[in-house]
């Protein structure tokens, strides 16, 4: 039985992932601050995906972690291989858009982790790595020990990522967001909320979201050095993502067409960057109106493509 509120959350998270990449591809034009603020407002999305995965873990998941990982590898591995290959072909052939992906030999070796020109595909190996660490970690070390370890990994990842330039470090994001540092914490957070049955009142949820977003913007503007781009993970991400997740986990709605789209979000996530790159090539104008139009159109087109592929037996495993 699917949780309608969480399925709706998947759809909302996917929409905000598109918003992130609309800013990344420059559709906001000279409206840099607006692009930055909407980008930062979207950064709960990927942590939410991690938390949703952990939320549905069962106790038996830790009894046979190897079996769970084999199933997950099948579910994620086939789409990862196909979509990385497709993005590479489209990038180097320039069939739909000009080439924009240039990496060193090391960068190319890291494509299985980074996704290469499909820069969003990093989520798939990150989910697998984070799940492997979490399942075996909880099995071998116990829940509470691993929870503290995941907090330590999160802090290390934040220091190596958002705060890196304060320590005169410069790392490709694949090194700190590849599933080792961030995924275990948010997976464990989702599992914890389900295991403990914790709920938050409306005021607490709103406070978590608002304070988390405010801190996230502060870190993005004053600590990180990527403006007008947003940043992936920081201390503000924790209350921000947990607050948003708590809202959807407690959202009591009936299953409907919008919530039912949750089953299409993985496929839409995989295809959306292709749509955006093509749009960036054919649409010359830039600005807030263009950014909004492109975001809405990309969401609709991506969900439609995912829905069609889901119905075709020979490609349904790719989405």
Q: Per residue in 181-215, pLDDT tens?
A: 999 999 999 999 998 888 888 899 999 999 999 99
Q: How many domains does the chain have?
A: 1
Cα 54 to Cα 147: distance, rounded to the nearest angstrom: 13
Provide the residue range defining the domain that includes 257.
Answer: 4-318
Q: Which residue has the higher pLDDT, 119 or 170?
A: 119
Query: What average pLDDT is seen over the chain?
Result: 93
Q: What mean pLDDT comes out for the span 48-58? A: 95
Q: What mean pLDDT comes out for the span 167-194? A: 88
Biggest distance spanned by C-alpha atoms of the chain: 55
Distance of CA 43 to the CA centre of its chain: 8
Q: Nearest Cα to 15, choosing from 312, 317, 296, 313?
A: 296
Cα 127 to Cα 106: distance, rounded to the nearest angstrom: 22
3-state secondary structure the chain: CCCHHHHHHHHHHHHHHHHHHHHHCCCCCCCHHHHHHHHHHCCCHHHHHHHHHHHCCCHHHHCCHHHHHHHHHHHHHHHHHHHHHHHHHHHHHCCCCCCCCCCCHHHHHCHHHHCCCCHHHHHHHHHHHHHHHHHHHHHHHCHHHHHHHHHHHHHHHHHHCCCHHHHCCCCCHHHCCCCCCCHHHHHHHHHHHHHHCCCCCHHHHHHHHHHHHHHHHHHHHHHCCCCCCCCCCCCCHHHHHHHHHHHHHCCCCCCCHHHHHHHHHHHHHHHHHHHHHHHHHHCCCCCHHHHHHHHHHHHHHHHHHHHHHHHCCCCHHHC
Residue in the block written with tokens 């067409």: 257
Q: What mean pLDDT comes out for the span 107-123? A: 91
Confidence check: pLDDT of 82 > 90: yes
Confidence check: pLDDT of 30 > 80: yes
pLDDT at 109: 86
pLDDT at 177: 79
pLDDT more than 70, % of the chain: 99
The CA distances from residue 11 to 196, 261, 308, in Å, are 25, 7, 17
pLDDT at 240: 98
pLDDT at 93: 94
First-residue to last-residue Cα distance in the chain: 20
Cα 262 to Cα 85: distance, rounded to the nearest angstrom: 25
Q: What mean pLDDT comes out for the span 146-167? A: 93
pLDDT at 1: 60
pLDDT at 226: 85
Q: What mean pLDDT comes out for the span 86-105? A: 88
> Residues 187, 130: contact at Cβ < 8 Å?
yes
Q: What's the pTM value of the predicted model, to 2 decimals? A: 0.95
Q: How confident is the model at residue 83 (pLDDT cuts 50, 70, 90)?
A: very high
Q: How confident is the model at residue 43 (pLDDT cuts 50, 70, 90)?
A: very high
Q: How confident is the model at residue 232 (pLDDT cuts 50, 70, 90)?
A: confident
Residue range 293-307, pLDDT digits in tens: 999 999 999 999 999
The count of other CB atoms within 10 Å of the CB of residue 73 is 14
Q: Picking from 94-98, 116-120, 136-140, 197-201, which range would have the lowest pLDDT averaged per residue?
A: 197-201
Residue range 281-290, pLDDT digits in tens: 999 999 999 9
Q: How confident is the model at residue 265 (pLDDT cuts 50, 70, 90)?
A: very high
pLDDT at 236: 97
Q: What mean pLDDT comes out for the span 267-296? A: 97
Q: What mean pLDDT comes out for the span 81-100? A: 94
């Amino acid at each position: 039985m699917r949780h309608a509120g969480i399925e709706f959350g998947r759809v909302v998270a996917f929409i905000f992932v598109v918003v992130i990449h609309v800013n990344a591809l420059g559709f906001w034009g000279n409206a840099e601050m607006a692009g930055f603020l909407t980008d930062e407002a979207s950064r709960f999305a990927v942590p939410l995906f991690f938390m949703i995965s952990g939320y549905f873990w069962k106790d038996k998941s830790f009894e046979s972690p190897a079996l769970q990982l084999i199933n997950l590898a099948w579910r994620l591995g086939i789409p990862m291989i196909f979509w990385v290959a497709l993005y590479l072909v489209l990038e180097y052939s320039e069939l739909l858009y000009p080439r924009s992906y240039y990496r060193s030999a090391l960068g190319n070796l890291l494509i299985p982790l980074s996704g290469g020109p499909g820069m969003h595909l990093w989520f798939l190996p990150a989910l697998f790595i984070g799940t492997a660490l979490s399942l075996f970690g909880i099995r071998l070390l116990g829940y509470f020990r691993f929870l503290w370890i995941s907090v330590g990994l999160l802090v290390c990842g934040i220091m190596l990522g958002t705060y890196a330039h304060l320590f005169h470090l410069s790392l490709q994001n694949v090194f700190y967001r590849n599933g080792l540092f961030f995924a275990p914490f948010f997976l464990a957070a989702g599992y914890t909320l389900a295991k403990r049955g914790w709920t938050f009142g409306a005021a607490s949820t709103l406070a978590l979201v608002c304070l988390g977003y405010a801190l996230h913007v502060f870190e993005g503007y004053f600590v990180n050095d990527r403006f007008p781009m947003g940043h992936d993970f920081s201390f503000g991400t924790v209350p921000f993502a947990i607050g948003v997740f708590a809202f959807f986990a407690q959202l009591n709605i009936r299953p409907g067409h919008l919530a039912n789209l949750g089953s299409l979000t993985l496929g839409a996530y995989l295809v959306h960057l292709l749509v955006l790159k093509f749009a960036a090539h054919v649409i010359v104008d830039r600005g807030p109106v263009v950014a909004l139009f492109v975001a809405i159109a990309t969401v609709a087109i991506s969900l439609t493509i995912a829905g069609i592929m889901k119905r075709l037996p020979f490609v349904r495993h790719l989405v």
